[in-house]
Structure 1
């Protein structure tokens, strides 16, 4: 595909999106019925709002979901401390709730507009951002092109390029170059991510490390933690967290294999998507296991096999109940989930081999001795059994993981240095405006 055809394709994408715009209402309404949209704020997805733009410079920060929102929260804090207004957009209901909890009314939160020209244009016409900061791998063609057309600098921070995405973009190299040339700067998580962005036409590219390392450990309700610890007592525990379809059953089979070797064993299963909880509960109960569902405040009794963590925002609670955690989305070829939160909370980490999306973090944890990859459910059962049986080995892994996280910190500082040429002129602009008033 030539460069000319790539640009024609992108223009066609924009035209097709504009033509489809009147038809997307049904789709957004359907998502609302599934709890994936806030029905009171659907209009924000079309770029509409009842919030006024504040006077002075505005920086638009976008974080797609919970993980990205957690990653950019310290960055947003740092920007706010400079006296610049921030409009933070997210794409999910859960990430919106997290933004409210962590940042409150210090920011203006909006749901990100659909990547269709009428919605993006309306959003940009209203907010008139002086700078756009996008987190991780949010590559939306219409948004990128419209920002470029308006000459609004766009910086990708904590940039990540998965194996799958890189191969896909390589097949459309001219499209990638036509898009990525609009980025004013890419701040990548790792050297490998940086090389991939450069290969696809992004300039300039720097490497910061992972912003998720610089966040605080996930918080906990101390009262709830104390109550659950009292219910669990001295029972041995292990957890399977951020699990995806099929991995909960593997965790249940590990429990069934080990409960005779470790009397009183309690397994904690925390699905990545709690809306699957009813189906999971039925599946696990059909295996003859007794569950306590956190969403129902069910008490953990001596004969409880599984604590099902089917709530949002309580990962800090579940991880503090154990010293061993399997991190999901990794036994199938899906890319893995973030292992940094378990490492921050002094947890020995296990995962499947498919952790491409967090390759750099896992590589450092494995090299330090803080994490181990397993091939399948049988190997997972063996690893959990070994760690439950060997306190010294378990604590060595826990300490190694925590130390690895400490050594990985510093991404926030490096990201702020990369952003300085874009933010400093806004601070001067704000000072001049204030002086004029």
Structure 2
């Protein structure tokens, strides 16, 4: 049978991608270098490996950025424990993802920057690494990366697939292109039934709703010495956490905290902006609200007078989840689509969130139904929910236990995901 004709949009894309490759490389390498990436690693973006391929079976995982990269580490660790003769390669495109993943790499696993989506970069990458299977995560789907990997005879799978309604409408305008790209995957696990239905509409009937990898990613690590120091400073002082705030949400958090201080004058708010570079603006906002602030990045101590602790550092999210009994998870009061609710749940923190959580459209309602999380609409509702939990320690304890139970119930899914991948990717013979 003759191979299926490549759709015109993909042929045009391929020609354009190869033509602008030198300019694209200059731009991405300059950005990586500015973010502290070693110059020796920049050529990885053109497919030049900076490490040797290990002997034996090699599984390649490709993820877009930090969240997606971290979501697969526990799966890789599990697969590595089951198959001690396997090795693993993670690729991603951002400097932050490389820095964060480097601190948490499982045994026999290494990171490389993903090659640019050009014929030459992909050819060099695949010639050097030639993985036995490729697993893509979420929605980081590059046409040449997919087509050349498939053409090399490497079986592919897609995990944690998520397609918004808007993206689905765009895909349906070019169904042949969508089917050509997505048809290379032997296995497609989606995050939610909405994505599954969208893919079925495109003719990809083998797509099935799977487990969200973020549900089995495990607790976010933290420095225990820092946790004990903070607990010693705070003693029995009540606190709550506003995690991953975006513009427009800091005002909501501060309004809720101001209301809470009337009944709980010693209450501390730990405010963690999603992007620490916004800290000066937020600090001014806190001062304008008439609240006293200490800022972590500048080494300010928390005193009895501190009402807001601005935690504007990277890599300490796990510390704040472990410290706080109550977490308001932001990105859900603005059109961001919500952030990963499994992280505070693993720490046993009761979770409050806003009504905008399209990124976790199935997860948040399930979490709410367990009693470990509660949706609140605005600042008054948020203040009322926190006030209730502070005044009723037994209710708070129960909510925290339900939060932790929500994620521990997901643990056995690692075995199921591993089994499905092995079968679909012709790896079953090594189980």
Query: How high is the TM-score relative to the length of structure 1?
Result: 0.90
Picking from 414, 418, 421, the partner of 2:420 is 418
Structure 2 equivalent of residue 252 of structure 1: 254
Q: Which among 173, 176, 179 is matched to residue 177 of structure 1? A: 179
Which residue pairs with 2:152 in the alignment?
150
Which residue of 98, 101, 115 corresponds with 1:99? 101
* In 2: Cα distance, 1:359 partner to 1:331 partner: 14
Against the structure 1 CA distance between its residues 32 and 406, is the aligned structure 2 distance closer, same or farther, given a 3 Å change threshold? closer
Q: For 1:197, which of 188, 196, 199 is the aligned residue?
A: 199
Q: For the structure 1 residues 248 and 35, does the alpha-carbon distance in structure 2 shift closer, same or farther, using more than 3 Å as the test?
A: farther
Tell me what 1:13 maps to.
13
The match for 1:61 is: 61
Aligned to 2:131: 129
Summarize deviations over 1:247-295 as a string: whole Å, max 9, x none. 1232122222221221111101112222333333343334333322223
Determine the structure 2 residue equivalent to 1:435: none
Structure 1: stretches of 5+ with no match in the other structure? 432-437
Contact 1:131–1:422 (Cα < 8 Å) also in 2: no
TM-score, normalised via structure 2 length: 0.91
Note if contact 2:337-2:360 (Cα within 8 Å) is conserved in structure 1. Answer: yes
Q: 1:47 to 1:278 in 2, by over 3 A?
A: farther
State whether residues 157 and 415 of structure 1, in contact with CA within 8 Å, keep that contact through their aligned partners in structure 2: no
Higher mean C-alpha displacement, 319-328 vs 385-394: 385-394
Deviation at 1:37, TM superposition (A): 5.5
Q: 1:380 aligns with which of 376, 382, 387?
A: 382
Q: Distance in 1 between matches of 2:205 and 2:129?
A: 26
Q: Could you tell me how far 1:210 is from its partner in structure 2?
A: 1.8
Unaligned residue ranges in structure 2 (runs of 5+): none
Task: Specify the alignment match of 1:240 in structure 2.
Answer: 242
2:348 is aligned to 346
Q: 1:364 to 1:105 in 2, by over 3 A?
A: closer
CA–CA distance in 1 between the matches of 2:5 and 2:352?
Answer: 46
Cα distance in structure 2, aligned partners of 1:16 and 1:95: 27
Q: Is the 8 A contact 1:181 1:201 kept in 2?
A: no
Which residue of structure 2 aligns with residue 336 of structure 1? 338
Give the 3-state SS of the residue equivalent to 1:333 in structure 2. coil
Seen in structure 2, the aligned counterparts of structure 1 residues 427 and 102 have a Cα distance that, compared at 3 Å, is farther
Contact 2:246/2:334 (8 A) holds in 1: no
Taking structure 1 as reference, are residues 201 and 145 closer, same or farther at Cα in structure 2, changes over 3 Å only? farther
1:140 corresponding residue in structure 2:
142
1:28 aligns with 2:31: no
Per the TM alignment, residue 378 of structure 1 is displaced from its structure 2 partner at its CA by: 2.8
Name 1:277's counterpart in structure 2. Answer: 279
**Do the aligned partners of residues 277 and 122 (structure 1) sit closer, same or farther apart at CA in structure 2, a change above 3 Å counting?**
farther
Counterpart check, 1:74 vs 2:69: no
Distance 2:59 2:411 in 1: 25
Distance 2:169 2:373 in 1: 28
Is contact 1:180–1:200 with CA below 8 Å preserved after alignment? no
Relative distance call for 1:284 and 1:147 in structure 2 (3 A) is: same
Question: Any conservation in 2 of the 1:45–1:111 contact (CA below 8 Å)?
Answer: yes
State the SS of the aligned residue for 2:104. Answer: helix
What's the CA shift for 1:147? 1.7
CA distance in 2, matches of 1:167, 1:374: 30
Equivalent-residue separation in structure 1 for 2:78 and 2:47 (angstroms): 27
CA–CA separation in structure 2 for the residues paired with 1:256 and 1:39: 48
Q: Over aligned residue pairs, what C-alpha RMSD do you find?
A: 2.5
The Cα shift of 1:151 comes to 2.7
What residue is the counterpart of 2:51 in the other structure?
51
- Structure 1 residue 327 corresponds to structure 2 residue 329: yes
Instruction: Give me the whole-angstrom Cα distance separating, in 2, the residues matched to 1:192 and 1:113.
Output: 31
2:293 matches 1:291: yes
Deviations 1:37-87 (A, max 9, x none): 555522212212232222333221112222222221122123333112211
| CA distance in 2: counterparts of 1:167 and 1:305, whole angstroms | 47
In the alignment, structure 1 residue 355 sits paired with structure 2 residue 318: no
Paired with 2:390 and 2:305, the residues of 1 have a C-alpha distance of 19
